Amino acid sequence: MSSAAVSYARENQKRFLDELKDLLRIPSVSTAEEHKDDIRKAAEMVANDLKRIGFEHVETISTQGHPLVYADWLHASGKPTALCYAHYDVQPAEPLDEWKSPPFVDKDAYPLKGEEAQAASKNWTEPSERNNNIYARGAVDDKGQLWMQLKAFESLFKGGNGKLPINGRVLIEGEEEVGGESIEEFVKKNAASGKLKADFALVTDTELFAPDLPTLCVGLRGLLYTEIQAQGAKSDLHSGVYGGAAPNPLFALVEIISKLKDADGKILIPGFYDDVQKPTDDELKAWEHLPFNEEDYRKAEVGSSVLTGEPGYSVLYRTWARPTLEVHGIPGGFVAPGAKTVIPARASAKVSMRLVPKQDPDDILKKYTEFVKKVTPKGIQINIKVHSKGPACVVNTDNKFARASVEAMHEIFGKDTVYIRSGGSIPIVTQFEEDLKIPSIMMGMGLPDDNLHAPNEKFHIPNFYRGIESIIRFFQILGQ
């Protein structure tokens, strides 16, 4: 705790935060074609900072999709090597009118294209920094946590006369929110070459189980995200004139999706649960001792009248270790205010499944596709587009890297670490284990109410600082 690196980090907190705000100003929305330039800007900012703080071999690597950023510093002979992962891309900010402050920090920083965005900006009446939080799309997912890594490295370089206590590789992607295909390919290609040779990975894209409670995430759900595209008539038809004769692709999607899951949340695709692996009894028991109150969670986080999901499983079990199926949007037909009596020619539905350990995404996709085709009503042509696909994983904590991270967080937080899973998906963690044969330390500093993927996403600023210090101490302990 008396380390020069930690002191440097504390002295430079304000500047670190200002730099993070600059990164947050770039609307690097990876799913939107119109933000391609912003994606590149964000990658460049990351690469430039890696260069500035002391990394070598800094590369912005072009891909079929968005660029990867790679850097390394490998002069700590005999010390372990970390592979540090984060992502600079963000989810779309929509619905814009539910934000209280600009989703990209400044009102002017956001390209207010179209009437909708300009109308929405009228609701942005609060400052982006309030109650010790920074509010922005990507604040916690994952730009804030990406910047923790860079600022920990900067502090270590500065406090160590240009040297790190361990060897470091950094690999940052820009497609995490859209399936991460490019990094998958890159890791696969470089697994044998030694370019990514490391002893462990540090992944900062998860959260603390509760404020002030140091947390390691040891399991993630996988994701299969599809879009069912349906076509009925050759063009839009008047529902008065053709209602009763023309197939309606919107109604067909309703029929299909209603058959995928029952009212209790049980997924009805044949064979869907065949390979589901249960958590160990020890893990299930540990979850029971976590500070979790279902009623508080319902009220404060979800805000619905009741919670839903499969009977017989706890909330943590359901969201961490049971597969789920959700529909995210049903584009097609008339969705503007008012009424239009149309039978649309085309419609589609964005349907995703969260997967748990041992479920194979390709096997699930096959079963899903077969079932969807089977229950497709007559007169409707369907096509299933896959937006992303990755398996679940559970990581091992019985290693010196996990122990060092726990020791570091104990120093910074003054508390014992809890082990949790996350219902979200970080496919790269599975790949690090399978292709690089290294465990991942998922040391995240988000909070459960940080509004990931939702309006008013935030990052608690003290957690940004504690994250930097925890990483500094983690690497220093490993380098001793």
**For residues 88-147, which are near a second copy according to CB under 8 A?**
91-92, 94-95, 98, 113-116
- Write 283-289 long-range contacts (CB < 8 A, 24+): 283/419, 284/317, 286/418, 286/419, 287/314, 287/316, 287/317, 287/320, 287/420, 288/314
- If binding is defined by CB under 8 A, does position 163 make contact with a second copy? no
User: Near a second copy by CB under 8 A, which window of 44-52, 229-237, 404-412, 428-436?
Assistant: 229-237
- If binding is defined by CB under 8 A, does position 383 make contact with a second copy? no
Among 60, 155, 167, 248, binds a second copy (CB under 8 A): 248
Pairing verdict, β 381-390 and 167-173: unpaired
* Closest by Cα among 438, 264, 283, 275 to 355: 275
User: Near a second copy by CB under 8 A, which window of 81-89, 190-198, 246-254, 463-471?
Assistant: 246-254
- If binding is defined by CB under 8 A, does position 384 make contact with a second copy? no
What value does the CA radius of gyration of the chain take, rounded to a whole number of Å? Answer: 23
- If binding is defined by CB under 8 A, does position 430 make contact with a second copy? no
- If binding is defined by CB under 8 A, does position 398 make contact with a second copy? no
Q: Distance (Å, rounded) from C-alpha 53 to C-alpha 221? A: 35
Among 19, 97, 275, 310, binds a second copy (CB under 8 A): 310
- If binding is defined by CB under 8 A, does position 391 make contact with a second copy? no
End-to-end Cα spacing for the chain? 14
User: Near a second copy by CB under 8 A, which window of 36-44, 52-60, 63-71, 239-247?
Assistant: 239-247
The site for a second copy, by CB under 8 A, has a size of: 102
29 to 88, contacts with a second copy by CB under 8 A?
31-33
User: Near a second copy by CB under 8 A, which window of 187-195, 253-261, 404-412, 435-443?
Assistant: 253-261
- If binding is defined by CB under 8 A, does position 232 make contact with a second copy? yes
Burial of 393 (C-beta count, 10 Å sphere; 0-12/13-18/19+): buried
Among residues 19 and 310, whose Cβ is nearest to a second copy? Answer: 310
Shortest Å, Cβ 21 to a second copy: 23
At a CB cut-off of 8 Å and minimum separation 6, what does 443 contact?
202, 203, 204, 206, 216, 405, 409, 467, 470, 471, 474
Tokens found for residue 13 = 């907190």
Among residues 19 and 255, whose Cβ is nearest to a second copy? Answer: 255
Among residues 29 and 150, whose Cβ is nearest to a second copy? Answer: 29
Q: Distance (Å, rounded) from C-alpha 160 to C-alpha 164? A: 6
- If binding is defined by CB under 8 A, does position 284 make contact with a second copy? no
- If binding is defined by CB under 8 A, does position 436 make contact with a second copy? no
177 to 206, contacts with a second copy by CB under 8 A?
177-179
Q: Does residue 111 have a cis bond before it (omega within 30 degrees)?
A: no
Among 81, 215, 319, 359, binds a second copy (CB under 8 A): 319
Distances, alpha carbon 264 to alpha carbons 267, 268, 272, 416, in Å? 9, 11, 16, 37
